[in-house]
Amino acid sequence: MSGNKEERAEKPKSRKQCLITVGATATFEQLIRATLSVSVVEKLMEKGFSHVSYQCGDSFALFNELLPEEREKQLLFKVEKFAFKPKGLGEEIRKCKKVDGQSEEGLVISHAGAGTILDVMRMGVPLIVVPNPSLLDNHQSELAEELERQGYATQGGIKYALLTVKSDLADAIDIACAMAKKKTWGQENKVKGVATMMDEAVGAVHSPREEEDLSLRLDGTR
């Protein structure tokens, strides 16, 4: 992979960060393997990422095995690796955000955990969601599919990620980076919140159900 460096895009002046996260609860070795595959690493360099951080979870040892230091030095981006962040990933996700004059629009490649997905979407960073195929009750891929259908995120697969041509994860990076204007989260969810539902339940405000009842009663007496 150290081959023809000259052909690649020039190193950007400003920071362009990618965060790869496997989550804290379940082991997700395949995602680490997939993101360290030749095709994905080349794709990240082609897109001009200057920094890539890996949240490896349980697979920290595996990460070091797959990417020994001498290989790390050959990469065009700076590698940051850690098992977990005790204070959460908020700070890491913020680094991927576009800030004028400081950093370009980055990317997050994440496992399909709802917490991380929401954090990323709230900050408006391009997102690839990779469902973990080894989880038995696989509602994660349903979530990833629906988010892709509604235009909030890109679904990434890891089935063929290790292939040099037609790697599905590398393709997902292409799509996610090309999504010019992502759908921003939070615009469409101006709905009745839980606080209002509670007020209705304790009777602090009239609930719609109650008004229905009232109108029925009025109709009955008429």
Partner 1 sequence: MANLSALQVISTGIAIVFVSGCVRLFWLFLSISRPVRDPRIKYPKTGPSHMVVVLGSGGHTAEMMSLLRDVDPTKYIHRTYIISSGDGFSSDRAFDIETKIQSRHNHGNVSSVGEVYPATGKWEVKIVPRARKIHQSRWTTALSSLWCLISCMATLRTSSITSIVSPFDYPDVIIANGPATAVMVVLASFLLKLFGFAPIYKMKTIYVESWARVKTLSLSGKVLLWLRICDKFVVQWEELAKNINQDGTRRKVEWSGFLVE
**Interacting residues with partner 1 (CB under 8 A):** 24-25, 112-115, 118, 122, 139-140, 142-143, 145-146, 186, 188-199, 201-207, 209-210, 213
Shortest approach of partner 1 to residue 25 CB, angstroms?
Answer: 7
Measured from the CB atom, the residue of 22 and 143 that comes closer to partner 1 is 143
Measured from the CB atom, the residue of 80 and 138 that comes closer to partner 1 is 138
Measured from the CB atom, the residue of 44 and 156 that comes closer to partner 1 is 156
| C-alpha neighbours within 13 Å on the C-beta side of residue 107 | 28
Rounded to an integer, what distance in angstroms lies between the CA atom of residue 197 and that of residue 23? 32
Shortest approach of partner 1 to residue 2 CB, angstroms?
Answer: 40
Shortest approach of partner 1 to residue 131 CB, angstroms?
Answer: 11
Rounded to an integer, what distance in angstroms lies between the CA atom of residue 119 and that of residue 82? 19
Measured from the CB atom, the residue of 180 and 204 that comes closer to partner 1 is 204
Shortest approach of partner 1 to residue 196 CB, angstroms?
Answer: 8
Q: What is the 3-state secondary structure (H, E, C) of 64-128?
A: HHHCCHHHHCCCCCEEEEECCCCCCCHHHHHHCCCECCCECCCEEEEECCHHHHHHHHHHCCCEE
C-alpha angle 31-20-134 in degrees, rounded to nearest 5: 25
